[in-house]
Chain A
Amino acid sequence: MASVTYDHVTKKFGDSMIAVNDLNINVDDKEFLVLVGPSGCGKTTALRCLAGLEEITEGNIKIGDRVVNDVPPKDRDIAMVFQSYALYPHLSVFDNMAFGLKLRKVPKDEIKRRVEQAADTLGIKDLLNRKPRQLSGGQRQRVAVGRAIVREPKVFLFDEPLSNLDAKLRVQMRAEISKLHQQLQTTFIYVTHDQVEAMTMASRIAVINKGVLQQIDTPQNLYDSPNNVFVAGFMGSPAMNFFPAKLRKDANKMVVDTSDFVLTIPPDRTKPLEQHVGKDIIFGIRPENIHDAEFIPPNIHAEKVEAKVDVTELMGNEIYLYLITGKNTFVGRVDPRSKMRMGDKAQVAFNMDKFHIFDAQTEQAIR
């Protein structure tokens, strides 16, 4: 049980390729931190640096109060679940799980007790004598987790552990790993490229892009107030709609002018935007905040926009509308009662209580 600190950590491969760039993260004890980002963004490298599988170029990594830069992996008191599970093919499930304990000279009956307890928790008690190749994907996954549990490490590391499972199993394992975190009360650090996994499991999420930490916060805060265009676009599906626009003052009202349509900003949100009047901005709004004009929820500031329906996708509980106005295309998630069909001229309503404005130059949020 320990905190983890990345203190100005930089990892270079060769001279030019910077995988992790000046990373600063404090992971509290017992926290479930998810590192998320597109593939090749450096999240896995950051995790491998913590595990000791890669040497860091600059900075310090601390587990608890101890700087572990030069500590070999085996002495870091961590356990890791690999994307490919990395089960030893020549050992039985029991021996796979017992491997680390045997190396640490844990007494035999203690090993047996711990392995059986972990197998019980994970529901793989019947498989202990099998070899990894006789197991299904989901079972292998459990063994890999079990191998980590029995070690009772200070920190658990997960490197995209669910990406090799089918969709249904993935949802199930997601819940199980969350439950496991509650039971074990240990620090979890989890790498994934799947923002749904990040949202559902994390106590905090760190979004990484091109080796640089973009934002670290709770899932809800990250979703509600993204720091920049990358985070806003990465979290949420379908992704947030972005419109290049200009801020203008129009007879006492502040408006966003996308050149296809003009939206009025509610007076209570104009204050931080004053300095940007007359400048280029990016206007962002999530699909669920775009409604069919006939089904506008009560008590919102709705601004109507004319658009053409390009494609509709019926999802049952809602409809995805792919809309076109002038040179902008965007997506709305509207009420399933909506009558809009392909090719229609449509009137949609933007919920102006929930929008995001970013500086067009820096792509940082203005708020």
Chain B
Amino acid sequence: MTTLAQSSTASKKEAHKKSIWKTLNPYFYLLPAFLIMGVITYYPMLYQVWMSFTDYGVKNLRFNAPLPNYVGLANYINILTNQLGLSYYDFWRMLGFNLFWTFSNVIIHVTLGIFIAVILNRQGLWFKGFYRALYILPIVIPQIIVANIFRNMFDPDYGAINQGLAALGKFFFGLSPDLFHIHWIDQVNYPVSWLPLTLSYYALLITNVWLGWPFMTIVASGALQSIPKDLYEAARIDGASESQQFWRITLPLLRPAMVPASVYGIVMTFNLFSLIYFLSGGGPLRQTEILITTAYRLINEQRLYGVAAAFCVYIFFILLALTLITNAITRATESYDA
């Protein structure tokens, strides 16, 4: 009897030891990643919050330099009240532009993407494979290279855009090529007088539409192919016209795929650093500057690390709000097969 009891306590101890290992096991899997992220991600993020309350600048960079001065909320206030010493800097206009930039892009991407996907999906279309293969190109070419190429193409005197327009103008309307020295990037006047958007905004928009629609077409094509054909047959029997079929069947059934794709597009476009930095450089007069390019300027050109830190904290909260709102919208639009 005693031996039995002893052996059972021993095995219990053994089992206890085993269960401790079992509980700890997941943390061993997490350890490498979180050790590294702790040092190079989370610690810097916290450090940045501290920096944002200081006047951290070049003087504090030197080895053994004194700690920066605590300045309270000064950085945060200066950012919002446009007292950064940056010419033409206006936080609220920039935030508005950033949002307008984001949504104008994504709306065009999605509309054009769906439109082309629907055409490509039509039965009996010629050269389908050719178009499909060709339209993938804007996705696979590195974005930053595309930005540079378009910067070059928008050159007022020798760029491919103006030269192309001149060739078309001459061919169709007999216009003089001298008319086409459009200053896409640095013209300060608004081309549409009642819209406070410079020509460089349109140049950026053209470039980003070139970059962005194929992704939406691919997502929409995948969704279109998964719509059962008999739905359309049923609709035809019910007497739905082609356009009714599009609005009543195609579009609602595309939504589950397009909503997450749009959310992805919104987040990507909101932070589209490389395109704006390389194409317009935020110009002219900071008219096409967005939050993320301004943050980079504060670090790279102004070297105001404390101010930049505070600016990035703002970016964090703005993105958090944007993400939560778009996520709420995603969740509200459930997929139909659920």
Using a CB–CB distance below 8 Å, which chain A residues touch chain B? Answer: 70
Cα distance, A170 to B330, chains bound together (Å): 43
Cα distance, A70 to B11, chains bound together (Å): 9
Task: Find chain B residues with CB under 8 A from A70 CB.
Answer: 11, 15, 18
Residue of A nearest to B15 (CB): A70
Residue of B nearest to A69 (CB): B15
Task: Find chain A residues with CB under 8 A from B11 CB.
Answer: 70
Closest 3 CB pairs of A and B: A70-B15, A70-B18, A70-B11
Contact with A along B10-27 (1 / 0, CB 8 A): 010001001000000000
3 contacts between A and B (CB under 8 A): A70-B11, A70-B15, A70-B18
B13 to chain A, nearest CB (A): 11
Using a CB–CB distance below 8 Å, which chain B residues touch chain A? Answer: 11, 15, 18
Cα distance, A70 to B15, chains bound together (Å): 7
Secondary structure class of chain B's binding surface, majority of residues: helix
A242 to chain B, nearest CB (A): 37
B331 to chain A, nearest CB (A): 24
Residue of A nearest to B19 (CB): A70
A314 to chain B, nearest CB (A): 31
Cα distance, A83 to B11, chains bound together (Å): 34
Cα distance, A70 to B10, chains bound together (Å): 13
Residue of B nearest to A67 (CB): B11
Residue of A nearest to B8 (CB): A67
A233 to chain B, nearest CB (A): 32
Cα distance, A70 to B17, chains bound together (Å): 12
A70 to chain B, nearest CB (A): 5
Cα distance, A70 to B21, chains bound together (Å): 13
B20 to chain A, nearest CB (A): 13
Task: Find chain A residues with CB under 8 A from B18 CB.
Answer: 70
Cα distance, A207 to B330, chains bound together (Å): 44
B269 to chain A, nearest CB (A): 38
Cα distance, A264 to B319, chains bound together (Å): 79
Cα distance, A47 to B18, chains bound together (Å): 23
Cα distance, A204 to B119, chains bound together (Å): 62
B196 to chain A, nearest CB (A): 57
Cα distance, A68 to B50, chains bound together (Å): 55
Cα distance, A153 to B18, chains bound together (Å): 25
Residue of A nearest to B18 (CB): A70
Cα distance, A70 to B8, chains bound together (Å): 12
B17 to chain A, nearest CB (A): 11
Cα distance, A70 to B19, chains bound together (Å): 9
B45 to chain A, nearest CB (A): 35
Task: Find chain A residues with CB under 8 A from B15 CB.
Answer: 70
B164 to chain A, nearest CB (A): 50
A116 to chain B, nearest CB (A): 38
A14 to chain B, nearest CB (A): 17
Cα distance, A346 to B15, chains bound together (Å): 68
B316 to chain A, nearest CB (A): 35
Residue of A nearest to B14 (CB): A70
Cα distance, A113 to B226, chains bound together (Å): 47
Cα distance, A70 to B12, chains bound together (Å): 9
Cα distance, A9 to B119, chains bound together (Å): 61
Cα distance, A203 to B338, chains bound together (Å): 41
Cα distance, A246 to B15, chains bound together (Å): 57
Residue of B nearest to A70 (CB): B15
Cα distance, A70 to B14, chains bound together (Å): 10
B19 to chain A, nearest CB (A): 8
Cα distance, A231 to B62, chains bound together (Å): 83
B22 to chain A, nearest CB (A): 10
A117 to chain B, nearest CB (A): 36
B16 to chain A, nearest CB (A): 10
